[in-house]
Amino acid sequence: MKNRFVLSLCFLWLAGLLQAVPYKGQHAPVELLADVSEIVPGETFHLGLRYELEPHWHVYWKNPGASGLAPEVEWTLPEGFEAGSMAFPAPERFELGGLVSYAHEGSPLFIVPVQAPFDLPAGETVTIQASAFWLICKDVCIADEAVLELTLPVGDGMLPDENAALFAAAQDAQPLADFGLETTVQPGEDGRVEMTIRGLDSVADSDDVYFYADSECLIDPNAGQILRTAPLRLQLSPDKAYPGELPATIPGVLQVGDAYFVVGSGAAPQPEA
User: 61-78, pLDDT tens digit by residue?
Assistant: 999 999 999 999 999 999
Residue 152, pLDDT score? 95
Residue 4, pLDDT score? 35
Residue 202, pLDDT score? 63
Residue 9, pLDDT score? 33
Please say if the pLDDT value at position 266 is more than 60. no
Residue 205, pLDDT score? 56
3-state secondary structure of 207: helix
Q: Are the beta carbons of 245 and 216 closer than 8 angstroms?
A: no
212, β-bridge pairs? 253
Q: Are the beta carbons of 62 and 90 closer than 8 angstroms?
A: no
pTM, entire model: 0.86
Tell me the C-alpha to C-alpha distance, in Å, between residue 249 and each of 1, 193, 213. Answer: 67, 12, 11
Q: Are the beta carbons of 215 and 70 closer than 8 angstroms?
A: no
Query: 269 or 215, which is more confident?
Result: 215
The conformational region for residue 65 under phi > 0 = left, psi -120 to 50 = alpha, else beta, is left
Please say if the pLDDT value at position 198 is more than 60. yes
Return d(Cα 139, Cα 238) in angstroms, integer. 27
50, β-bridge pairs? 31, 109
Amino acid at 184: T
* pLDDT level of residue 207 (50, 70, 90 thresholds): low
Residue 137, pLDDT score? 95
Q: Are the beta carbons of 266 and 249 closer than 8 angstroms?
A: yes
Please say if the pLDDT value at position 170 is more than 70. yes
Alpha helix stretches (DSSP H) within the chain? 2-17, 164-172
Contacts 24+ apart (CB under 8 A), 17-23: 17/125, 17/151, 17/152, 17/153, 18/150, 18/151, 18/152, 18/161, 20/148, 20/149, 20/150, 20/151, 21/148, 21/149, 23/146, 23/148
Return d(Cα 170, Cα 141) in angstroms, integer. 25
Query: 8 or 115, which is more confident?
Result: 115
Please say if the pLDDT value at position 6 is more than 60. no
Residue 175, pLDDT score? 96
pLDDT-wise least confident of 50-59, 79-88, 93-102: 93-102
Mean pLDDT in residue range 206-210: 76
**DSSP track, 24-82:** EETTEEEEEEESBSSBPTT-EEEEEEEE-PPTT-BEEEEEEETS----EEEEE--TT-E
